[in-house]
Amino acid sequence: MVFTEELRAEKLFSAKGAVCVVTGGGTGIGLMATQALAANGAKVYITSRRKEALENAAKSHEPSQGGEIVPIGPCDVTKKTDLEKLVAEISKKEKHIDLLICNAGVSGPKAEPESEDAKELKERLFNNESFEEWSDTFNTNVSAVYFTTVSFLPLLQAANKGTQSSSVIVISSMSGIMRHAQGHFGYNAAKGATVHLSKLMSYEFKKAGIRVNSIAPGYFPSEMTTKESDENQKSEIPDEKIQDKGHVPMGRAGSDEEMAMGILFLMRNRYVNGEVIAIDGGVLLEVPGR
């Protein structure tokens, strides 16, 4: 039997004492996740390719009480040597990690398929993108997620005490579920692979006692969507820009709080494994998917 007092939100979603790692943790969704975890008591290691962004994020958003934000790196998640170095550095400080969030990603090339004429389509799509750009997009958004997760498996397993208490959250995208290319064939195809990769890892790594779930965000403010951050490593998307798209029922971008709720839910609920949760403001109700 569970007493009513045990179902208080601060108990259900507490991250007190947890050790977490977030890639791409200095900006955007990675920083939102970092803040959510640190605010609820976790020690969060954040890494990315830019050391200055990491240090600034930690300085600007360190909680006044509870958890801790620790910049570590820099780390390029597309390089095995960087991943091995990252794991080695964290292993010197921690005996385990409770949560890994694979968030680092890139948007890749863009070419709009706006013509009904096949010759024009070829001109626009074939000549404005390259194999190299597609490969870079796939390496960061898919391959790096796989190798990052695999690198941390021993530290993740070390957190388990007879149950699947450690987990991985893969930040994919609603773009990996929808059929609308949005001018981003390479990015959407890569995110589709990321979605499926998270399902593959959830099945294969359950034997090691590690849960894997994915969040498929809609439009959230980040450097990927706005191309910039302010002095606090934060970005903004005006409501009008979202409304102009015509397929977002909420009529605005997602908030830090809404992403935080998803992160804490997947971290704490051990009965959820292998799921892809869209936090998209209803976009997938309007745009064809799967």
CA dihedral 197, 227, 63, 279 (to 10 degrees): -40
Phi, psi of 190 (to 5 degrees): -65, -40
Q: What is the pLDDT of residues 238-250, one digit of tens each?
A: 999 999 999 999 9
Q: What is d(CA 174, CA 278) in angstroms, rounded to the nearest whole number?
A: 6
Cβ contacts of 19 within 8 Å, gap of 6 or more = 42, 43, 45, 94, 96, 97, 98, 99, 159
Domain positions in the chain: 4-285
Q: What does the pLDDT read at residue 227?
A: 79
**CB of 173 within 8 A of CB of 182?**
no
| Burial (CB count within 10 angstroms: exposed 0-12, middle 13-18, buried 19+), residue 218 | buried
Q: What does the pLDDT read at residue 290?
A: 74
Which CATH architecture does the domain made up of 4-285 adopt?
A: 3-Layer(aba) Sandwich (3.40)
Q: Strand 43-47's sheet: what is its strand order?
A: 68-71, 43-47, 19-23, 99-102, 166-171, 210-217, 276-279
Q: What is the pLDDT of residues 47-64, one digit of tens each?
A: 999 999 999 999 999 998
Enzyme catalytic residues: 172, 187, 191
Q: What pTM was computed for the model?
A: 0.95
Q: What does the pLDDT read at residue 231?
A: 86
Residues of the chain with pLDDT under 70: 162
